[in-house]
Structure 1
Amino acid sequence: MNNSMEISDNSLEYQRASWNALRKSINGLVNKVTAANIRNIVPELFAENLIRGRGLFCRTCLKSQLASPGFTDVFAALVSVVNAKFPQVGYLLLRRIVLQLQRAYKRNDKTQLVAAVKFIAHLLNQRIVDELIGLELLTLLLEKPTDDSVEVAVGFVAECGSLLQDLCPKGMNGVLERLRGILYEGDIDKHVQFLIEGLFALRKAAKFQIMRPELDLVEQDDQFTHQVSLLDEIDGESGLDVFQPDPQFVENEKMYEDLKKQILPEDEDDEDQIADSVDSNEEEDEEQIKDETGTDLVNLRRTIYLTIKSSLDFEEAGHKLLKIDISGMEKELCVMLLECCGEETTYSRYYGLLGQRLCLMNRIHQESFEKCFADQYSMIHQEVETVKLRNVAKLFAHLLAMDALHWRILDCIQLTEEETTSSSRIFLKIFFHELSGHLGIWLLNQRLSQDSFESIFPKDNPKNTRFAINFFTSIGLGGITENLREYLKNMQNEGKQKKRKTNV
């Protein structure tokens, strides 16, 4: 059946079949978009009737972002391109996100709230929404601060603080002063205080997250920025998500066909016109070459991610993952496992058991995890999300307690005041608590004493020795510092004896 015959069919059965096909197509395209293939996905998406399917598109974006928050910036970039051509679609999505945020805030649903706030941050970075909503959101979260609300606010500033600082520096300075006041008042949990300290460290080092260049797809002149308030009464238009007969189906389909011809080039040789118009043809060719060289890696990561997320248990996941050809890129498997674990709202033992299975099955995976531990700890000061710190710390503690990794990986930890940060101290607190839970304080002390970890129990300087003793005592693990306390006591006695001899 040709296109003209299809469009002339106005029957209820055909409309329903068309709707189901539209739903499946939009779901498939949104769920497979990545930073590497987004330029190829956009033309396919515009080929579908996004006016009729705007509710489907918005619903799929919200569901996919909630399931994969690590891809939020990619979904925001996709919405940015659609919004430039069909602002009504971007406006609908924005209103639904605000509605999700309002409901989550009232119900105290942290998972939904974090997802909505993260999406708004990246829509701000893409200039889909006015910056005033960012200040409004921060005011709401910090007006009556709780541990959760401050943690969410800190995450939001880390995501889009660079843009807010540029667009409304006075408002941003007010928010930072409010956070500083909350920190000085000391009415919040220690880990949240550490988060605020980490945020100020990021600001001082000018390391707020910024939009990735490959996701900057819309020229500033083509951007359409919406204004929405958190106080608005939002109509999410949920009726757009379900099939409804259209008396003017044929006319509306033909109308979209005309719009599609204006957006999409008819000649296949002109497909590069969909790319960013500011790039020259030569620059587009270079970008395509770069995308192609990274395609294998992106596809591998996506395969690993989907395998981990879709498996029923760790044994099934391990069996499937070991079948994947990852020669030379074994570390990517470990990195993706850590990413998936870090995305969870609470730690799942599934990841620890899966990592343990991989390490015991192949020495290469064991070595990869050991390298990942050193890499994670070296960059821990850049992490402001406590949930991710907790999950990753518990995962590595499980692997170490089960002897899936060598204990010498702890050599990278320098437990001194100068060498640790608020983030690393949170990580170490959770890490050693989890080890103690697995092994017990006696066995943990035995394992640490057996290998003589002088980087964790420093004896080079009394100041460092006291710091290590005070750290473990403050987190309730003072029992593993008995040898260190004895050493410090003997060192002090020797110092007193020398002093007496000198006086004599």
Structure 2
Amino acid sequence: MAASVSPAASPSSDRRRGKSRASPPDRDRDRPRDSNPAESNGGGAPKLSRDNVDDRSPRRARVPDAEEGGDRRRRRSSDSDDERGDRDRDRRRRRDRDSRRHRRRSSSSESSDGGRSRRHRRDESSRRQRDERRHREERRRRSPERKEPTPPLPPPPPLLPEMIPGRTGGIYIPPFRMAQMMREVEDKSSTEYQRLSWDALKKSINGLVNKVNATNIKNIVPELFAENLVRGRGLFCQSCIKSQMASPGFTDVFAALVAVVNTKFPEIGRLLLVRVVLQLKRAYKRNDKPQLLAATKFIAHLVNQVVAHELVALELLTVLLENPTDDSVEVAVGFVKECGAMLQDLSPQGLHAIFERFRGILHEGEIDKRVQFLIEGLFAIRKAKFQGFPAIRPELDLVEQEDQFTHEISLEDELDPETNLNVFRANPNFAEDEKAYENLKRSILGAESSDDEEGSDDASDEDAEEESDDEDDEEQMEIRDQTETNLINLRRTIYLTIMSSVDFEEAGHKLLKIKLEPGQEMELCIMLLECCSQERTYLRYYGLLGQRFCMINKVYQENFEKCFVQQYSMIHRLETNKLRNVAKFFAHLLGTDALPWHVLAYIRLTEEDTTSSSRIFIKILFQELSEHLGIRLLNEKLNDPNMQDSFDSIFPKDHPKNTRFSINFFTSIGLGGITETLREYLKNMPRLIMQQQKPASSESGSSDSGSDSDSSSSESESSSDESDKKRSKRRKR
């Protein structure tokens, strides 16, 4: 019987041969393979049928059950892995075959079934992605990765003085911890203690320099002298330069601080000037404009404080203007603005030479237009004698020029910045130096303290009385807001409430909820009138709102009366539209009796006392009143005998000219009906004048009768004398 070949191929055959799916076909590909890995490894002989029993290989010896079970489990696991690998390969092979089949399609079929093929490809790609994702998840689930636990962090090292590395202190140590460490150190001259005191000195100097300003500089100076400035002079100079670079607006404050320190320690002032000059030269070589501007500004204020000599400023300006560029000329202009006032006093001829150089640069015209305008502005400032650019502010003028040490340095000199002073170095004579500075500090600051101690024993009672007086003054002192911030916020609240309300009732309800201090009711009236005047046309909303407040409280009525007087006195400042709205607002208040009618007494209707604006105001006011009340009721109001004193200024009767002007004015605006009483008075005015003159003439006749008789007798005598003279002349002829 012929030998039969097993149809099933071993799943691990390819893996055992080390062949990939993409490898070329092998000759022994179609050869039958045995499922038993041991036999296949033994030579790959074909498996025979059961009938051919004579040619089979001899049976192996029986192994123990435990070993057989282990081998069986290993074979089963390897078989399952091989089967999964075969399935993956078959799936990939089918995908490749489908893709080749799709590519072999003709162009016509692709055009006809383009949409379907695209959908098929999308489905294939999505299915492929799902399968791959599922296989990855299965592998990850079957072979989970073991995460190793992260080792714990080592504990931080303890803060010990010998562990403080670095040039200038190293790690940060809190102040309380620093003080504790300094107390724990027994040897006050040891290197650890010196390092701790150096760090404390650096922090103190930096804090004082960063805290200084024009108002507290007098308090900062004693605190600064209390620190060891001899030991920390490098730190002080470094802190001043860094702070000035960060805040150029406070340059004059830093210069004033340096000027005060320079009076007691001139070497510190010279060291800072040297470092600033070196910073300027470095910035000039590197074309670093911001740093150059900061350095020139610092030098300018040191010149103003007479710490630096004026020759330093003139030499610097000469260097900047020797080969003028846009940036160098701009820096020179800023430098002259800062210290020009002092140079005008110290060296007027040198400053004149500098301005002549500026003039030459301006005439050459080789620089930018913007810089030319800067030079022209500088000439204008010089013409105004540097107004607005003072050399020293009054609050920073702390040192007399006689007490100041002036340093003269050339830009061409070799200067030593002494950078080693910025770094900590152990001092073998640390304790002696500290004691020496304590004595020096006592000589600087101790004079005032000793005088105070001697005087305190003599005048203890006076101090107690002064303290009591100061306490009383503090209790009586009131803080007043001169910026009127609360008033502005109140006006804003009133304005927003008025403009956001739907009707006058809602606005009145909201405005009454605002808590007003006594005397702030006037602000509400002013804001209401201002809002009314800003409208394009008059809105009855404002009149009703003002009427509501006048009816609620009499205080608002009095305030609106004051507003009427103020508006009429400044009526010529208002535009025509605002004038119309204001007049209609007050006409509404008068027509509804919310405002008393005696306010009209402030109006005097004459040609001399009125202007065009006031006449327009009166015209609109009375026209609105006639529309509200009617001409008859208005006439009754104006003819009320109790109110005639208030209306005499509107209907004047003191002179016929003023009376005629009032009649003509109301007639021209269409309200001649309210002037009937005034017309009757004008008709009867001559009779009244005659009646007033008759009693005056009778009184004058009775009093002058004696004088008339005397005058008649003297006249008769004079006439008789004249007749006698005429007769004597005739006789002579």
| TM-score (norm: length of structure 1) | 0.53
The one-letter code matched in structure 2 to 1:228 is: I
Q: Which residue of 1 aligns with 2:308?
A: 129
Aligned with 1:39 (options 218, 232, 237):
218
- How far has the Cα of 1:46 moved from its partner? 0.1
Look up the match of 1:226.
407
Residue 158 (str. 1) matches residue 337 (str. 2): yes
1:117 is paired with a residue whose SS is helix
Q: Deviations over 1:344-378 (max 9, x none)?
A: xxxxxxxxxxxxxxxxxxx89xxxxxxxxxxxxxx
Give the partner amino acid of 1:25: S
Give 2:425's match in structure 1, choosing from 244, 253, 256: 244
| Contact 1:80–1:218 under 8 Å retained in 2 | yes
Candidates 270, 273, 290, aligned match of 1:111: 290
Distance 1:329 1:43 in 2: 37
Instruction: Describe how 1:46-445 pairs up with structure 2 within 5 A.
Output: 46-206=225-385, 207=387, 208-265=389-446, 268=449, 328=483
- Opposite residue 236 of structure 2, the aligned amino acid is F
Q: Is the 8 A contact 1:95 1:234 kept in 2?
A: yes
Residue identity opposite 1:157 in structure 2? V
- Is contact 1:95-1:236 (8 Å) kept? yes
Shift of 1:114: 0.4
Is the partner of 1:265 in helix, strand or coil?
Answer: helix
**2:310 maps to amino acid:** E
Matched-pair contact (CA < 8 Å) for 1:8–1:250? no
Rounded Cα–Cα distance in structure 2 between residues aligned with 1:162 and 1:140: 20
Q: Larger RCO: Structure 1 or Structure 2 (Cα < 8 Å, ≥ 6 residues apart)?
A: 1
Does the aligned pair in 2 maintain the 1:7–1:254 contact within 8 Å?
A: no
Shift of 1:265: 2.4
CA-to-aligned-CA distance 1:311-368 (integer Å, 9 cap, x gap): xxxxxxxxxxxxxxx99487xxxxxxxxxxxxxxxxxxxxxxxxxxxxxxxx89xxxx
SS in 2 for 1:40: helix
Match of 1:10 in 2: 189
CA distance in 2 between counterparts of 1:266 and 1:7 reads 33
Misfit runs of 4+, over 6 Å: 1-8
Q: 2:187–2:193: 8 Å Cα contact kept in structure 1? A: no
- TM-score norm. by structure 2 comes to 0.37
Aligned-partner Cα distance in 2 for 1:7–1:15 = 12
Indicate if the aligned counterparts of 1:98 and 1:230 stay in contact, CA closer than 8 A: yes
1:393 is matched with: none
Q: How many Å separate the matches in 2 of 1:172 and 1:139?
A: 11
| CA distances 1:60-118 after superposition (whole Å, capped 9, x unpaired) | 00000000000000000000000000001001000000000010000000011000000
The superposition leaves residues 407-451 of structure 1 with CA deviations (integer Å, 9 ceiling, x where unpaired) of xxxxxxxxxxxxxxxxxxxxxxxxxxxxxxxxxxxxxxxxxxxxx
Deviation at 1:162, TM superposition (A): 1.1
Identify if the C-alpha distance between structure 1 residues 153 and 239 changes in structure 2 by more than 3 Å, giving closer, same or farther.
same
The answer for the alignment partner of 2:205 in structure 1 is 26
Kept in 1, the 8 Å contact 2:235–2:421? The answer is yes
Deviations, residues 108-129 of structure 1 (Å, cap 9, x unaligned): 0001100000000000000001
Task: Report the residue type matching 2:234 in the other structure.
Answer: G
- Name the aligned partner's letter for residue 223 of structure 1: Q
Provide the rounded CA distance (Å) in 2 between the counterparts of 1:41 and 1:257: 18
Distance 1:16 1:161, change over 3 A: same
User: C-alpha separation between the residues in 2 aligned to 1:252 and 1:201?
Assistant: 54
Residues in 1 aligned to 2:287 and 2:451: alpha-carbon distance in whole angstroms? 50
2-side partners of 1:195 and 1:271: how far apart? 54
Question: What displacement does 1:244 show?
Answer: 0.6
Distance 1:97 1:184 in 2: 33
Identity within the alignment, %: 66
Runs of 5+ consecutive residues of structure 2 not aligned to the other structure: 1-178, 454-469, 475-480, 486-491, 494-733
